[in-house]
Amino acid sequence: MHRIERQAFLLLLIAVTVAFGWILYPFYGAILWATVMAVIFAPLNRQLQKRMGERPNLAASVTILIIIAMVILPLALIAASLAREGSSFYAKMKAGEYNFAGQAQRVFDALPGPARAVLDSFNMPDFSALRDSMASGAVKGGQVLVPQALTVGMNTFDFLIGLGIMLYLLFFLLRDGRALALRLTAMIPLPGDQKVTLFTRFAEVVRATVKGSILVAITQGALGGLAFWFLGIQAPLLWAVLMAFFSLIPAIGAGLVWAPVAIYLLATGAVWQGVTLILYGLFVIGLVDNLLRPFLVGKETKLPDYVVLVSTLGGIEVFGLNGFVLGPLIAATFMVSWEIFSASKQRLDGRSTS
C-alpha cells in the first residue's frame, strides 16, 4: 500500500509540475531573461548590499536601475533607430532606388577575365536568372515585412507586459537569489557534488554566453557599423545588426557581411573603400573575437566552437531570439550531465573491481 501511495504522489507531483510549466510558458522569455540578468548582475548586487549595510531591498532596486540604464534603455534606442532605418531602406528598395540585380551585374562585368571564364563554364554569361530570383525574393520579402510592420503596435503591449514581469521577477531573484538557489538545490534528487557541479556550470554558461558571445557580437557589430558609416554605405545600423547576428557563428562570423560588401566596392571602382574595409575587417573586427572572448570567458568554460554553432542555430530555430542563451545552455547541461554520468560509472566500476 505504501508503494502505491508513493507512486500516486509521484504522478501528482509530475502532473502539477507540468501544469505549472504550462501556465508559465507564455512568459518563459521574461523568466529566462530575469534569471540571466540575476546571474550576470549578482556580483554587483552583493557589492551594493555590503556598501548599503545589508539592505537587500535597496540594493536590488539600485541594481535594477543600473540594468535599466546600462542595458534596457540603450537596446530600446537601438531598436527604435533600427526600425526607422530598416523601414527607410525597405521603402527605397521598393521604390527601385536599390537595384541589387543591376549591381550584381556590375560586379560580374568588373570581374577579371579568368573569373568570368569560370562563370561562363557554368553557363552563367549574364545575371538574368539572378535578376529574376532577386525580384521574386523582393516580393516574398515584402509579403513578410508588411504584416510584421502592421503587428508592431499590437506586439508593443505584449512586450511591455513581458518587460514588467521580467523586472518584477528580477527584483526578487536579486534579493532572494541565494536562498532560492539553496532551496532549489535541496529539492533536486541528486548527490550533493553533482548538484554543485550542475549549478556551477549553469552560472558559468550563462555568463559565458552573455559576456562572451553577445558582448563580442555587439562589439563586432558596432565596429562594423562604424566602418560602414565612415565609408558612406547606406543603412550602417542595419548592417551593424546583421554583423552582430552573424558574429555568433564561430570562425567566419561578421565576415559574411563585410566581405561581400568589400568585394562589391572593389568591383565597382571604389578601390580605397574596399581595401580599407578588408583591412579593417581582418585586423579590427576579426581580432575582436580572439582578444575579447578569452578575457570575458574563461577557457575552462568555453564550449567547442562546433557545439556553440550547432546549439546556437538550433536554439534560434526552436526558441527564436531566446535561443541565443537557451541553445548553448541546453548543450552545456547535456555535456555536463554525461560527464557526471561517466564519472559516476567509472567510480562504480572501480569499486566493483577492487
Tell me: the pLDDT tens digits for 89-128? 666 666 666 555 555 556 556 555 565 565 566 555 454 5
Range from 39-43, 63-67, 92-96 carrying the lowest mean pLDDT: 92-96
Q: CA-based angle 220:313:93, to the nearest 5?
A: 65
Helix boundaries (H) for 188-235 = 192-207, 215-230
User: For residue 40, which phi and psi values (nearest 5 degrees)?
Assistant: -70, -45
- Check residue 147 and give its pLDDT: 46
Q: Cβ-count burial of 68 within 10 angstroms (0-12 exposed, 13-18 middle, 19+ buried)?
A: middle
- Answer yes or no: is pLDDT of 64 > 90: yes
Weakest mean pLDDT among 59-68, 73-82, 118-127, 197-206 = 118-127
User: What's the whole-number average pLDDT of the chain?
Assistant: 75
Share of the chain above pLDDT 70, in %: 72
Identify which has the larger pLDDT, 212 or 137.
212
Chain segment 233-254, per-residue pLDDT in tens: 877 887 888 888 777 766 667 8
Q: How far apart are CA 193 and CA 197, in angstroms?
A: 6
Amino acid at 199: F
Compare 145 and 304 and report the one with higher pLDDT.
304
How far apart CA 110 and CA 87 sit, in angstroms, is: 31
Give strand ranges (E) for 161-280.
none
pLDDT value of residue 108: 58
Q: Are 213 and 332 in contact (CB under 8 A)?
A: no
Is the confidence at residue 15, as pLDDT, over 50? yes
pLDDT classification of 172: cutoffs 50, 70, 90? very high
Tell me which amino acid residue 271 is.
V
Is the CB of residue 42 less than 8 Å from the CB of residue 35? no
Helix axes 28-51 and 192-207, enclosed angle (nearest 10): 90
Residue type for 247, please? S
Hey, what's the cell of 247?
Answer: 558574429
Q: Residue 343 corresponds to which cell in the numbers above?
A: 564519472
Whether the per-residue pLDDT at 171 is higher than 90: the answer is yes
- Is the Cβ–Cβ distance between 280 and 291 less than 8 Å? no
Position 257 confidence tier, pLDDT thresholds 50, 70, 90: confident
pTM of the model: 0.68
- At residue 335 the predicted structure's pLDDT band, cuts being 50, 70 and 90, is confident
The four Cα atoms 254, 258, 260, 264 give a dihedral, to 10 degrees, of 180
Q: Which among 307, 283, 288 has a CA at the least distance from the CA of 214?
A: 288
Instruction: Give per-residue pLDDT as tens, 124-161.
Output: 545 455 545 544 554 454 444 444 444 444 466 677 88
CA distance 265 to 87: 24
Higher pLDDT, 270 or 144: 270
As a whole number of angstroms, the longest Cα–Cα distance in the chain is 86
Give the whole-angstrom CA distance, residue 328 versus residue 309: 9
- 193 pLDDT above the threshold of 60: yes
Helices 271-280 & 215-230 angle (0-180, nearest 10): 160
Task: Using alpha carbons, list the distances in angstroms from residue 268 to 93, 99, 110, 131.
Answer: 19, 14, 7, 18
pLDDT, position 146: 45
- 283's grid cell: 585586423
User: For residue 318, is pLDDT > 60?
Assistant: yes
When pLDDT is cut at 50, 70 and 90, the band that residue 65 belongs to is very high
Residue 207: pLDDT band with limits 50, 70, 90 = confident
